Amino acid sequence: MMTLLISLALMNGCMVGLSRTLNGRLGQYLGPFRASFSNHIFGFLLLTLYIYPTWTEMSFDWRAEASWPMYMGGVFGALFVAVNSYVFPRLGSTQSALLVMSGQMLTALFIDCVSRNHFPSYGQGIGMLALFVGVAWNKFLGQSKIRTENTSPAGNKSPLLYIVSRREESGSHE
């Protein structure tokens, strides 16, 4: 059971990566803002289908309970997808994932400490230090060299998606 849960959570991380990859790829064609819109509208439609059957059972009085900033998460989400789609093809998937993760962890810790009014624990302090070392290392020494100049719209030549890229190739002309 535990193995299943662990693989499920790991796979979920891959889902995050997949989502960002597709958005980054779309951003290369349409620009980051349109990629962000596409990401959100398709997600919205899919979630609508998912929650529609249980809509009437939902006992959530949105006027009484939630304050308006809670609804503004989506605004940051739209900006995030745009920014991520912009950097993703430039830095590559590993580096953009690592840097986004660092920014996210540090901000989350900051929010956590401010809202609960305490300082980070010793463990968190050491964690922050390790994170800073990793980010600085990444900034000054990291250099994931591009192995193949693979910037054509046809893009990848991997066997798995060869057919897809072939079709793309025939549809476009440089």
Nearer of residues 9 and 56 to other proteins, judged by Cβ: 9
When asked if residue 140 is in the footprint of other proteins (CB under 8 A), the reply is yes
Residue 76 carries which DSSP code?
Answer: H
Under rule CB under 8 A, residue 56 binds other proteins? no
DSSP letters along 78-90, please?
Answer: HHHHHHHHHHHHH
**Toward other proteins, which CB reaches closer, 44 or 56?**
44
Of 53, 56, 63, 160, the one binding other proteins (CB under 8 A) is 160
Whether residue 168 contacts residue 154, with contact meaning beta carbons closer than 8 Å, is answered with yes
Does 163 bind other proteins (CB under 8 A)? Our answer is no
| Subset of 78-97 contacting other proteins (CB under 8 A) | 78-84, 86-87, 89-97
- Residue 66's identity, in one-letter code, is A
Q: Would you count residue 162 as binding other proteins (CB under 8 A)?
A: no
Taking CB under 8 A as the criterion, the residue among 3, 56, 117, 148 binding other proteins is 148
CB neighbours of residue 39 within 10 Å? 22
First to last CA, the chain: 51
Q: Going residue by residue from 97 to 116, which x/- string records binding to other proteins, judged by CB under 8 A?
A: xxxxxxxxxxxxx-xx---x
Measured from the Cβ of residue 78, the count of other Cβ atoms closer than 10 Å reads: 15
